[in-house]
């Protein structure tokens, strides 16, 4: 895999249109301590909440080479003339940022241009991140995507719809629902180059000098696109699965602050000596306070909340998951929830919104059932699988050789058939079997589906014409499934579990699908030993027994299924003679 070398990075804060109160929300946040410290810290470290996020690349990314480009007319407290590169006491920075003030185009420091010329590597990028958006993208996936993009400049946008674990409805040409499709891993797609700045712009360092105009980056992305066209610099745009928060919206700003506060140690929340807090006031959870703050009697502040410098919380007021701006006075007995209070001109009676902003804090297990680390389902079942699979493969080694010769001598084509199936958590793998059908059987299946004798997405007919000479014997004795013990050793399957099924079958019945993908698929299972094969009931039984297995998974159930399977195999083998 190509090593993604982020040698230089610039976070570009744009001049954005004012909101209904006449001021940009992001400008307000960056001018208000301690919110400014949280936001700037979050733009650098937002990805810390996911182990494999794009901004986890801090290990590969030297923050000394990170620059913030800010409009020169914005009065930003941490970067004002009196505090240039000096962090206030309440700031949450771990490093001192480098600041660039711009009026029109964005000047790029000479050391960056010189560094780009020295490195001149195809693996080295100069990255311009749009400071209006906090994004969360899987770094390893983005690395692999960029490795396959043949371009000198790549515009990357985070697209939640391309994230794994997302559900999409599949429609027919007539607009009717045909099923559901869930992608179990992040994806990416090429898109048109927009006139707006992307969330991230990756520029190869060896072409950086050609993109600049008088050692400055055009503020207009359309102008930058025109430079690339005129100088024959390849520019491509891609959407990559990821979450994004718009910091010019209240939900976006509150979401970023909530996330960053949840990742900051309690030592960061020590009270300032200048604050006045009544003895019977209560502060619960992660609450970040500025300076010269007054919190009156019986007031309640519930985190994650930020109270800015010189704010007043009067008697009995309740603040929950909000930002209270500088010099704001919250009246007595006022209830504030999920709000950004910028100044005195505020509609206190606005309806409370309950929209969740925690979509980025996803459960690592997603929709699947999880078991404790030290348990039969999570640990000991895997050990037993490896042990049993190794014994079976050793004992049946002579049989495998004999069957392989029989297939090769009686039917043209490969010995093994590899079918793409979905395994644990939807990860796809090649399910191995001895080939029992003629070449091209999968294409003939669609022609024969009209005479299928089972319901649901399965396919089965009596006297299937696609089965080759020795295929009937291998299928009736289940010898064709012995190669699946290799899948067990590879960790793709288990001895006992739900039937391994392809993605096309898993578009139906989402809840059932997510339940059965909570465990590794099995060579045998509850459905295989209890199915009745009654007309138009096979699919219903399949759903019932797979969900029942995941719900009641235990050692005794697995042993019972193995015993019943062994008896069934022995009976079928004897019936062949």
Report the pLDDT averaged over residues 498-520.
Answer: 80
Q: 456 pLDDT exceeds 80?
A: no
Q: Is the pLDDT of residue 91 over 80?
A: no
pLDDT number for residue 55: 41
pLDDT of residue 63: 44
**Which of residues 155 and 78 earns the better pLDDT score?**
155
The one-character DSSP state at 462 is T
Tell me: the pLDDT tens digits for 225-234? 999 999 999 9
Do 356 and 349 form a contact (C-beta atoms < 8 A)? no
Full-model pTM: 0.65
Mean pLDDT of the chain: 78
Residues 61-77 have a mean pLDDT of 70
Closest Cα partner for 492 from 418, 407, 392?
A: 418
Per-residue pLDDT tens over the stretch 514-563: 888 889 999 999 988 888 777 767 777 888 888 889 989 999 999 999 99
Largest CA distance in the chain: 95
pLDDT in the model for residue 514? 82
Per-residue H/E/C for 131-151? CCEEEEEEHHHHHHHHHCCCC
**What are the residue ranges of helices labelled H in 300-455?**
381-395, 397-410, 441-448
Tokens matching residue 123: 């693996």
Task: Give the DSSP per-residue string, 55-78.
Answer: GGGGGTS-GGGEEEEEETT---GG
Percent of the chain with pLDDT over 90: 21
Q: List, in order, residues 6 or more apart from 111 with CB less than 8 Å away.
A: none
Residue 160's CB is within 10 A of a number of other CB atoms, namely 14
Q: Which pLDDT tens digit goes with each residue over 296-312? A: 999 999 988 999 889 99
pLDDT computed for residue 235 by the predictor: 93
Tell me what pLDDT residue 442 has. Answer: 67
Whole-angstrom Cα distance, residue 87 to residue 99? 13
Q: Provide the pLDDT for residue 58.
A: 39
- pLDDT at 576 > cutoff 70: no
Residues 500-519 have a mean pLDDT of: 78
Q: Which of 22-26, 48-52, 166-170, 479-483 has the lowest mean pLDDT?
A: 48-52
Instruction: State the pLDDT at residue 555.
Output: 92
pLDDT at position 20 = 46
Domains contained in the chain, CATH given:
5-246 (3.90.550), 265-341 (2.160.10.10), 376-575 (no CATH)
Q: What pLDDT score was predicted for residue 86? A: 35
Q: Which residues of 142-152 are buried (b: 16+ CB within 10 A; e: fewer)?
A: bbebbeebebb
């Amino acid at each position: 895999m190509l090593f993604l070398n982020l040698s230089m990075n610039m976070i570009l804060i744009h001049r954005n249109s004012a909101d209904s109160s006449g001021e940009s929300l992001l400008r307000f946040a960056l001018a208000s301590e301690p919110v400014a410290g949280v936001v700037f810290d979050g733009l650098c470290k937002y990805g810390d909440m996911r182990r494999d996020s794009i901004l986890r690349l801090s290990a590969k990314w030297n923050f000394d080479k990170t620059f913030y480009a800010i409009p020169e007319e914005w009065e930003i407290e941490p970067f004002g003339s009196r505090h240039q590169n000096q962090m206030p006491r309440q700031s949450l920075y771990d490093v001192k940022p480098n600041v660039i003030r711009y009026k029109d185009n964005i000047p790029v420091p000479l050391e960056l241009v010189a560094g780009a010329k020295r490195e001149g590597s195809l693996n080295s990028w100069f990255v311009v991140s749009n400071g209006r958006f906090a994004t969360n993208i899987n770094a390893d996936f983005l690395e692999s995507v960029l490795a396959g993009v043949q371009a000198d400049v790549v515009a990357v946008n985070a697209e939640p719809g391309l994230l794994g674990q997302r559900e999409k409805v599949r429609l027919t040409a007539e607009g009717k629902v045909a099923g559901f499709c869930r992608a179990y891993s992040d994806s990416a797609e090429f898109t048109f180059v927009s006139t707006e700045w992307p969330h991230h712009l990756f520029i190869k360092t060896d072409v950086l000098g050609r993109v600049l105009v008088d050692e400055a980056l055009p503020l207009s992305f359309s102008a930058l696109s025109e430079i690339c066209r005129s100088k024959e610099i390849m520019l491509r745009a891609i959407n990559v699965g990821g979450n994004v928060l718009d910091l010019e919206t209240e939900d976006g700003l509150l979401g970023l602050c909530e996330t960053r506060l949840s990742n900051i140690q309690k030592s960061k929340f020590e009270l300032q000596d200048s604050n006045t807090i009544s003895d019977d006031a209560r502060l619960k959870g992660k609450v970040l306070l500025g300076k010269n703050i007054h919190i009156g009697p019986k007031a309640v502040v519930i985190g994650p909340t930020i109270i800015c410098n010189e704010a007043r919380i009067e008697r009995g007021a309740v603040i929950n998951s909000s930002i209270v701006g500088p010099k704001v006075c919250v009246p007595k007995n006022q209830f504030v929830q999920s709000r950004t209070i910028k100044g005195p001109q505020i509609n206190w009676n606005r309806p409370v919104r309950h929209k969740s902003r925690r979509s980025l804090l996803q459960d690592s297990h997603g929709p699947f059932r999880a078991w404790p680390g030290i348990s039969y389902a999570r640990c000991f079942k895997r050990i037993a699988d490896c042990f049993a699979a190794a014994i079976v493969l050793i004992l049946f080694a002579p049989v495998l050789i004999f069957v392989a010769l029989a297939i090769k001598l009686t039917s043209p084509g490969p010995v093994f058939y590899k079918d793409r199936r979905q395994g644990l958590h939807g990860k796809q793998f090649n399910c191995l079997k001895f080939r029992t059908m003629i070449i091209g059987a999968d294409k003939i299946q669609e022609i024969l589906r009209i005479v299928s004798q089972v319901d649901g997405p399965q396919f089965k007919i009596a006297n299937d014409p696609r089965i080759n000479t020795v295929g009937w014997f291998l299928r009736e004795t289940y010898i064709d499934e012995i190669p699946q013990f290799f899948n067990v050793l590879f960790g793709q399957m288990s001895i006992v579990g739900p039937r391994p099924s392809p993605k096309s079958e898993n578009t139906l019945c989402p809840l059932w699908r997510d339940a059965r993908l909570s465990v590794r698929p099995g060579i045998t299972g509850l459905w295989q030993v209890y199915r009745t094969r009654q007309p138009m009931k096979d699919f219903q039984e399949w759903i019932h027994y797979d969900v029942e297995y995941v719900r009641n998974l235990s050692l005794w159930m697995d042993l019972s299924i193995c015993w019943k399977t062994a008896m069934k195999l022995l009976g079928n083998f004897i019936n062949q003679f």
